[in-house]
Amino acid sequence: MGAIVATLRGLRELDEERFGRWFDVGKSRRDALRREIAVDPDVIRAFLTRNHEGAHVFEELGWSFYAWNGAARDDDALSFNCMFSATSQWVKNRVVFDLPPEWEQDLRRARQALDLAVRAASGRTSSPLQSS
């Protein structure tokens, strides 16, 4: 299981109600809610490689992934965005969480989410596509 899958599964364990489902970006909230992402290594692999098929692949730019929890209220929304395996001096590896506003008052939860991502990524050797 790759770092992305481990992070999304870990978030689900923190709060099943809020982080049990993940969605791809869409043109609107309604559109995104039609694009549920199963937290499964094969599904995540398909999301990471879908923009690379039939086009020139810039390996040095790495792989990017974005997911949103589908929250009905903005106050419950959490999104997860990551870039892995970039080797370009201009594009850096990163993990970004857009956290619910209430987490500003409860930094423990924000720290738990960050710790999940760090632990998941530290077990990865080279590629987010690789299973661990």
For residues 83 and 108, which has the higher predicted lDDT (pLDDT)? 108
Phi, psi at 83, each rounded to 5°: -130, 125
> What pTM was computed for the model?
0.74
Asked if the model's pLDDT at residue 54 lies above 60, the reply is no
Mean pLDDT of the chain: 77
Q: What percent of the chain has pLDDT over 90?
A: 13
CA atoms in the 13 A half-sphere facing the CB of 44: 25
Instruction: Render pLDDT for 13-44 as a digit per residue (tens, 0 to 9).
Output: 888 888 889 998 888 889 999 999 999 998 88
Q: Which long-range contacts (CB under 8 A, 24 or more apart) does 112-117 make?
A: 112/14, 113/11, 113/14, 113/78, 116/6, 116/7, 116/10, 116/11, 116/14, 117/3, 117/7, 117/82
Res 4: pLDDT = 84
